[in-house]
Structure formats: structure tokens, C-alpha cells
Chain A
Amino acid sequence: MAEEIILLDYWASMFGMRTRIALEEKGVKYEYREEDLSNKSPLLLEMNPIHKKIPVLIHKGKPICESLIQVQYIDELWPDANPILPSDPYQRAHARFWADYIDKKTYVPCKALRSETGEKQEAAKMEFIEVLKTLDSELGEKSFFGGNEFGLVDIAFIGFYSWFRTYEEVANLTIVAKFPRLISWAQRCLKRESVAKALPDSDKVLKSVSDHRKIVLGID
């Protein structure tokens, strides 16, 4: 039976990637629809009137907005295949805390890294490096953020990996050399089919952002 799932998304969105990964982890068939963020579809505006943002998951005609909420929804609907949240309440709270941390602390600096220059970009660099340090420390020597199993926090953060090359180039940040444990973790995640399918090529992201910066900021 078709589940009638539509995902309104944008190919380079690290938030959209989360939902794509979750759907793939559960083996759920869905229709992917690319949104032009400079010309949002009537469906997007109807399904997410509050924020008007992607990703939007539409299940049997009903919208679910906000990527981490979508991931939890998918996990609850298909609990048997590849659980995303652990079953223990304390471990669940721990996972939600770190997913929330990622959302709280990356949104503003990452926007500035890709769209600003000068002092604003410098400040964003410092903030982002602090986030990476904190996440690196939290990951420690574990295979995944939750321990031995791929889960919510990994899904929350892995999309950012496809943006690392972009941040290194346009913001002159050193990430790969400074955070080998995070890079190993990312490579480990990429071995999963769901992640490999969901993440775009890093060079494609870089080109898209560079082109945009040329037009908007006049930077060559």
C-alpha cells in the first residue's frame, strides 16, 4: 500500500537531509519534490504557512514541519526497522538534548559563514569552531553519538559534513585537519546507504554557494 509521502525539500539543505536519511533508514518510499527557494511553490506555502520553510513532510495530505520533528515522527510510525531513538527514556532525553544543541548553536553561524564576509563571518567562524569542539568532545571515542548505534544525533549533524568543504573555502576555516575524529565519524556514517544517498557532493555545494556569493556579494 502506498504510504503517500511527499517531501518538499532543497537538495543542499542539511535539514532536508535529515528527513531523507530517516525515510531511507526505514525503507519508506516517498516522492521527493525539489523546491526553488526563491520561488516557493503554493503547496509549500499552504503546508507550512507559519515558517514557509523546507523540509515539509506530507503524509496522506497532512503536513509535518521541522526536520527533527519529522525524524521523530518517522521513527514512531515505523518503529521496527532501524530505530532512530533509543528505547531507554534517559538515552532518549540525552539524544534530544544534543539534537537540540545542534539546532540552537549552528543555525545562525552557518548562515553567516555562507552569506557574510569580514567581521560577521569571522565571528561566525569562532562560534562554529566552538560547536565542533563541543561535538567532538561529546562524540569522544564512540562510533556514533549514541554509542554503537547510528541514531538521532548522527542524523541531526551528518548533513553539515557536506558543507565542510564550503565553509573551509568561503570562510577560510580549518575543519578536516583539526577534527579527525569528527571526520572519521562522518566517513562511518557515509557507509550507510541512507546517508550516502541523502548527502550531496561537497563540491556541488561549494559551487552553488560560491556562485551565489559572486552574484549577491560580488565576490570572485
Chain B
Amino acid sequence: MADKVILLDFWPSPFGVRARIALREKGVEFEYREENLRDKSPLLLQMNPVHKKIPVLIHNGKPVCESMNVVQYIDEVWSDKNPILPSDPYQRAQARFWVDFVDTKLYEPADKIWQTKGEEQETAKKEYIEALKILESELGDKPYFGGDTFGFVDIAMTGYYSWFEASEKLANFSIEPECPTLMASAKRCLQRESVVKSLHDSEKILAFAYKIRKIYCV
């Protein structure tokens, strides 16, 4: 019996993109369903009653929620190809640690960059760059966070990489001079086939970013 995989998602979401990338890394056929976040579908509310958020992966009728949880699930189910997490338990723990860092330290400042202005935005920019510098230090001279291969932390970061240009334009700053090796890794990730197929072009994301910024009356 063929697997039925549905992904409830929202096209500019840096979290949804992680699930799309993981599915494409594994060559999994899936049905993409666009959600209107201002009018969430009954299916979304039924499949993620706790958080009511995308992405939600529905595999043979059963939901998996939270983007990096979805990525781990995909890695475990379709384990024959392109491993996402390393096999060594210590390396896995390190990968999980850095994904936790990404999600706790980038999330708020990234949001505040497009939601605020003035001093609040300046503070957010500083915090964002500080967190990116810590990540760059962890990356070191590796091509990817996973070492030679694109992996768990890279997938988590690619969501944010896809919003770098929009963040820079919205808040008038440049990431590359602050984090050159991270940017080099970002470019590498953004050129990967699974990523190219999963992302909308940066012009479209930027236009979307300007639009939602207006909604926040900024």
C-alpha cells in the first residue's frame, strides 16, 4: 500500500520549509496543502488542536506536529536515504542542542525585526547577529553544520536563511560582513536541489514581508 503524505503548510513559513526540504531529501511524494493562517482549515485544527500551527505532516491519516519533530520523524521513517541526523549518539545530541539553540535564540529577534521599528528593532538586530555569531563559531570551517553533509541543523537554519534577505532589507543591515562563513554555508544550502524546490524566490518573500509589516502598522 502506498504511503499517503500530506503537508499542511504556509508558503513563506521558515518552519514549513524545513518539512518540505526533509521530504524532498528523502524523495518522498507528498501533497502540499496551502493554509490560510487567517482562516485555518478544519483539518489543521483537527490535526493540531494543541498549537493550531503549520507545518503539520499527515502520514497515512496520522498527524506529526512541530517542524523539527516532523524532520526527525521523516528521517526515521524514510531511513534508507540521505540521513539527516548523524548515527553517533553524541553527534546526535550535539545536533539536537544546536537546533534547540536556533529555535530559542533566533525566533524572537527574527520576528521582532519585521514586527517593530526604532529602538526595539535595533535591539532585535543586535540579538539576532549575536546569535548568528555563536552559530558561526560552532560552524567553524565546516561546509555544513553537519560536517561534510547537509544535516539536521542545516535544515533548521535554512528556514532562517530563506528570510535573511528580507530581514536585511526590512531592518537595513547586512549579515555577510558580520558572519561571512555562515553566509557561505547559507549560500551552499540555498543551492541544494531539495531547498531550491522548496523555497519561493526571495523577491516574493520580501514582498510578503513588506505586506505583513504594514499589517503591524510599522
Taking Cβ atoms with an 8 Å cutoff, the residues of A that contact B are: 50, 59, 62, 64-66, 69-70, 72-73, 76-77, 89-90, 92-93, 96-97, 100-101, 134
How distant is the Cα of A65 from the Cα of B99 in the complex, in angstroms?
A: 12
Asked if B93 and A64 make an inter-chain contact with CB atoms under 8 angstroms apart, the answer reads: yes
B2 adjacent to chain A (CB < 8 Å): no
Residue of A50, A70, A101 near B50 (CB, 8 A) is A101
Is B50's CB under 8 angstroms from A76's CB?
no
Q: Are A93 and B96 in touch, CB under 8 angstroms?
A: no
The CA of A73 and the CA of B89, in the complex, are separated in Å by: 6
Query: Nearest Cβ in chain A — how far from B125, in angstroms?
Result: 20
Q: Which residues of B contact A (CB under 8 A)?
A: 50, 59, 62, 64-66, 69-70, 72-73, 76-77, 89-90, 92-94, 96-97, 100-101, 134
Q: Are A66 and B50 in contact (CB under 8 A)?
A: no
Q: Cβ of A90 and Cβ of B97 under 8 Å apart?
A: no
Q: Are B101 and A92 in contact (CB under 8 A)?
A: no
Binding site of B, secondary structure by majority: helix, strand, loop or mixed?
A: helix
A92 and B73 in contact, given A97-B65, A100-B66 (Cβ under 8 angstroms): yes
- The one of B59, B62, B101 in contact with A50, judged by C-beta atoms closer than 8 angstroms, is B101
Contacting pair B62 A90 (CB below 8 A): yes
Q: A66-B96, A69-B100, A72-B93 are in contact. Are A90 and B64 (CB under 8 A)?
A: yes
With a CB–CB cut-off of 8 A, which chain B residues contact A65? 97
Most buried by B among A64, A72, A90, A93: A93
The answer to whether A100 touches B89, judged by C-beta atoms less than 8 angstroms apart, is no
Quote the shortest CB–CB distance from B94 to chain A (angstroms). Answer: 8
A134 and B50 CA atoms in complex are apart in Å by 8
The answer to whether A100 touches B69 (Cβ under 8 A) is yes
- Tell me which residues across on chain A come within 8 A of B64, comparing CB atoms: 90, 93, 97
A62-B90 contact, Cβ under 8 Å, with A89-B73, A90-B64, A100-B66:
yes
Known: A50-B101, A134-B50. A76 touches B73 (CB 8 A): no
Pairwise interchain contact A90-B96, C-beta atoms closer than 8 A: no
The answer for the CA separation of A207 and B212 in the assembled complex, in Å, is 49
B93 cross-chain contacts in A, Cβ below 8 A: 64, 69-70, 72-73
Query: Are A66 and B97 closer than 8 Å at their CB atoms?
Result: yes
A64: contacting residue among B50, B65, B90, B101, CB under 8 A: B90
How distant is the Cα of A89 from the Cα of B65 in the complex, in angstroms? 13
> Can you list 6 A-B contacts (CB < 8 A)?
A73-B89, A90-B59, A90-B62, A90-B73, A92-B76, A97-B64
Q: Choose from B72, B77, B90, B100 the contact partner of A73 (Cβ within 8 Å).
A: B90
Asked if residues A96 and B89 are in contact (CB atoms below 8 Å), the reply is: no
**How far apart are B169's CB and chain A's nearest CB, in angstroms?**
30
Task: Name the CB-closest residue of B to A65.
Answer: B97
* Neighbouring A residues of B66 by C-beta, 8 Å: 96-97, 100
- Bound-complex Cα distance A66 to B104 (A): 12
- B89 surroundings in chain A (CB, below 8 A): 73, 76-77
B97: which A residues are within 8 A, CB to CB? 64-66, 69
Q: Chain A residue with minimal CB distance to B69?
A: A96
Bound-state Cα–Cα, A69 to B96, Å:
7
Alpha-carbon separation in the docked complex, A12 to B94 (Å)? 26
Report chain B residues within 8 Å CB of A70.
93
Alpha-carbon distance A161/B117, docked complex (angstroms): 43
The residues of A that contact B69 with a CB separation of less than 8 Å are 93, 96-97, 100
A50 touches B134 (CB 8 A): yes
